[in-house]
Amino acid sequence: MKVEKTSFEQLLSVMPDGWEAKAKELGALVRGREIRDAVDLLRLVFLYLTEGKSFSGTAALLQLAGIRSISKKAVFTRFQKCGEWLRWLCEAIYRNNKAIIEPPEWLGGRKVYLVDAGDEPVHGSDKADYRLHYAIGLFDLGMKEMALTGVETGEKASNFKSFGEGDIVVGDRAYCNKQGIEYLSGRDSGFIFRFGMKRFNVYNARGRRVNVPGYFKGLRPGESGEKTLYYELEGEYKPLRFCVMRKTKEAEEKGLETLRKTRMRKHGDKELRKAQEAYNRYVIVVTSITDAAPELILDIYRQRRRIETAFKRLKSLFKYHEIPVHVERGARAWFYGKLLLAALC
């Protein structure tokens, strides 16, 4: 008679090769008393992130299930040492499933980081209490930086203090502003930001304000193009590279449907403006990178969507309520543990 695998056994069957040895190599498994092996440690991590809710709750569940007798302090100590191991598991699983790929050769030694933020309540609250900002590697899921602020702190490049020469920052429309561009330029960091209709005024070489989509009317669906335009800062006009792709008809219709729903929710039964329809025909990014064709720049931005799929699961299925905000090592372990759950789902 065939014996069905338990849910946990099914999870173990999709772990990447060498995952147990990596627990010791990366410092997650240091002693074999209460937690004897990587399997027990992974069980502890998953219990804490799902049903355990707290270190004491996780310790109680482990004991009630007859798995291990362990104190809440021991659970805390074990968990906060798991960050790098959980990051390695995430990268291996995402790479095995082609959710992340090898960096293209044209990047050379430059590192690409995605920036984003999420609003969440503390446990028991019915409103957003804080905002988690994070910068994570596109091609290795390495955590560059994490910051926890109040919800009054907006999504902006200056929230991150560790960017420097050789880093390329990729972000959505929220990060695309003149202040963010200047901040990263001052740190010798590159950027690729999605440009939107209300980001900032754009000018041609003669200082005349222009409509960006108007330069790309000749593109056919799927085609890419570029144009150097300018933004104004303290009376000086600064060049900025625009890389643009014309959407397919299907993608355009999908974008219009999203815009209509947003418009209905915020403004009632009002027609979309012509400018909204014009911008919806294109994917427009601005970048400081000048040594790659526009389609390569746009492909980097498109790769961002692969990781965002996991983050959408992370935000909708695995809430931020239990983040151990008072210990950075614990916060990193928690983040990668949640990301691992999203990967497995």
- Model confidence at 115: pLDDT above 70: yes
Residue 157 pLDDT greater than 50, yes or no = yes
- The model's confidence at residue 101, banded by pLDDT at 50, 70 and 90, is confident
pLDDT at residue 216 is higher than 50: yes
Q: What's residue 301's pLDDT?
A: 94
Range 313-326 average pLDDT: 59
312 vs 222: which has the higher pLDDT:
222
Q: What does the alpha-carbon distance between residue 283 and residue 176 come to, in Å, rounded to a whole number?
A: 14
In this prediction, residue 147 carries a pLDDT of: 83
Which comes out higher in pLDDT, residue 168 or 141?
168
**Dihedral pair phi/psi, residue 131, rounded to 5°:** -130, 125
Report pLDDT for 277.
84
Please state, rounded to an integer, the average pLDDT across all residues of the chain: 86
Whether 342 has a pLDDT exceeding 50, the answer reads yes
Length of the chain: 345
pLDDT of residue 168: 97
Distance of alpha carbon 62 from alpha carbon 296, whole angstroms: 49
Joined tokens for residue 113: 């980081």
Is the pLDDT higher at 241 or at 324? 241
H helix or E strand, kind and range, residue 289: none
Q: Which of 1-5, 142-146, 188-192, 226-230 has the lowest mean pLDDT?
A: 1-5
Question: pLDDT-derived band of residue 141, with 50, 70 and 90 as boundaries?
Answer: confident
Specify burial of residue 64 (Cβ count, 10 A radius: 0-12, 13-18, 19+): exposed
Q: What local confidence, expressed as pLDDT, does residue 100 receive?
A: 78
CA 177 to chain CA mean position, Å: 19
CA 161 to chain centre: 17
Give 280's contacts (C-beta < 8 A, 6+ positions apart).
247, 252, 255, 256, 259
Nearest alpha carbon to residue 94 among 28, 133, 145, 138: 138
Which of residues 71 and 67 earns the better pLDDT score?
A: 71
316/14 Cα distance (integer angstroms): 23
pLDDT for the residue 22: 96
Within 10 angstroms of residue 66's Cβ, the number of other Cβ atoms is: 7
Percent of the chain with pLDDT over 90: 48
CA distances from 211 to 45, 177, 202, 204, 234 (A): 51, 17, 7, 10, 21
28-37, 240-249, 294-303: least confidently modelled range: 28-37
Average pLDDT of the segment spanning 266-272: 67
Contact 222, 246 (CB under 8 A): yes
Residue 84's pLDDT band (boundaries 50, 70, 90)?
A: very high
Cβ neighbours of residue 203 closer than 8 Å, sequence gap 6 or more: 209, 210, 229, 230, 231, 232, 237
Gyration radius of the chain's alpha carbons = 23
pLDDT reading at 86 higher than 90: yes
Residue with tokens 């203090």: 161
State the Cα–Cα distance between residues 334 and 327, nearest whole angstrom: 10
Least confident of 21-30, 45-54, 221-230, 316-325: 316-325
pLDDT at 191: 98
pLDDT the model gives residue 246: 96
Higher model confidence: residue 323 or residue 215? Answer: 215
pLDDT value at 326 more than 70: no
Residue 164 has what pLDDT? 96
1 has a pLDDT exceeding 60: no
Confidence label for 310 from pLDDT (cuts 50, 70 and 90):
low
Distances (CA, A) of 69 to 27, 75, 77, 301, 313: 22, 10, 15, 47, 33
pLDDT at position 313: 64
Confidence of residue 314 (pLDDT cuts 50, 70, 90): low
Residues 6+ apart with CB under 8 A from 202: 209, 210, 212, 229, 230, 231, 240
How far apart CA 288 and CA 19 sit, in angstroms, is 39
- pLDDT of residue 120 exceeding 60, the answer is yes
Report the half-sphere exposure of 255 (CA within 13 A, side-chain side).
15
Average pLDDT score over residue span 207-223: 94
